[in-house]
Amino acid sequence: MKIAIVGAGAMGGLFGARLALAGQAVSLVEASDHAIEVITRQGLRLETPDVQTTVHIPISRAAQLSGHFDLLVIFTKGFHTAAAIDSVRHLVCPDTWALSVQNGLGNAEIIAGVVPAERVIVGMTNLPADLVAPGVVHSHGEGHINLWAGSGKDAQRVHEVAAVFSQAGLPCEADPQVQVAIWEKVAFNAALNSVCAVTRQTVGAVGSTDQGRQVLGDILDETVAVAKAAGIAVDGQRVRASVDYAVRNHQQHKPSMLQDLEAGRKTEIDFINGAVVAHGKRVSVATPVLQALYNLVKASEG
């Protein structure tokens, strides 16, 4: 399968390396000249419990690529999705599909502005990946990927993509209930990312106080209520259990939103808390705590 991975960060690097090692025709698309130079010169280093290797994968800016691709995988942050998919529109042919397993909500709709909605795949992954340095990806721990067509209809290409990913060591399932997985991850991120960002505290510190746990629980309750009102059968107990597990076992972890604020970068709050607030308005579900955390993070961004 001819695959272009847009965004050579932690997840893009993990997927790109695994797929290339499995014999797929992978190209990396990146906007950072430094990352392009490093990966071109020294390759992409992947370190996992079962693989420690360097793989050489073509990498360039989008404009330098030509031809048509079977699959475009978008691995940018949500606020870069529009620019990312627009940059590769010249690679789209009538048989090209696009995939988003990005955090948050709304990316698939943006991608559908370039790739027809009936050829957009949506998904969720909890595979761990850290970008240690440009071109160096660590992945320690287990995870999986759930995929389905964004249209909700069964499609042979989705099953083909799932098989390709699984064969490459990226455990993947074609899952018609993928929206449940997506929303449960959104609930998890809306709680831990926003509260840690606003308080400037680690996951363990937030979960160590009654007040922190109360706010986390309120955000989970609001997000689950919005999802259920939208007809998505999110399991509130399962989401709460996943947050409790993170609080107990990842006490020193700083979620990406906190890291972004500390580094003076823009966050994905619009695609997480902000997106749930917007959905809540459409289904007439009040989200005052989500709204408050959204406002505080936006204020912190300056």
One domain, residues 129 and 205: no
One domain, residues 109 and 212: no
Secondary structure element (H or E) that encloses residue 28, with its range = strand 25-29
Q: What is the Cα–Cα distance from 167 to 161, expressed in whole angstroms? A: 10
Looking up tokens 């475009």, which residue turns up?
72
One domain, residues 210 and 247: yes
One domain, residues 119 and 249: no
CATH code of the domain covering residue 200: 1.10.1040.10
One domain, residues 117 and 213: no
One domain, residues 130 and 50: yes
Total of domains in the chain = 2
Q: Mean of the per-residue pLDDT values for the chain?
A: 97
Of 120, 153, 175, the domain-final residue: 175
State yes or no: pLDDT of 260 exceeds 90: yes
175-216 pLDDT, tens digit each: 999 999 999 999 999 999 999 999 999 999 999 999 999 999
Q: What is the Cα–Cα distance from 114 to 40, expressed in whole angstroms? A: 28
Pairing of strands 52-55, 44-47: antiparallel
The C-alpha R_g of the chain, in whole angstroms, comes to 19
Of 149, 175, 201, the domain-final residue: 175
One domain, residues 170 and 283: no
How would residue 254 be classed by pLDDT, with cut points 50, 70 and 90?
very high
Q: What is the Cα–Cα distance from 257 to 294, expressed in whole angstroms? A: 12
Say what the pLDDT of residue 302 is: 72
Looking up tokens 């922190």, which residue turns up?
212
One domain, residues 164 and 21: yes
One domain, residues 53 and 82: yes
Q: What percent of the chain has pLDDT over 70?
A: 100
One domain, residues 156 and 250: no
Q: In this structure, what DSSP letter does residue 264 have?
A: T
Say if residue 86 is exposed, middle or buried (CB neighbours under 10 Å; 0-12, 13-18, 19+): middle
**Among candidate residues 104, 105, 112, the one with its CA nearest the CA of residue 86:** 112
One domain, residues 208 and 159: no
Domain around 147? 2-175
Of 112, 142, 175, the domain-final residue: 175
How would residue 141 be classed by pLDDT, with cut points 50, 70 and 90?
confident
Range 120-139 average pLDDT:
95
Range 5-13 average pLDDT:
96
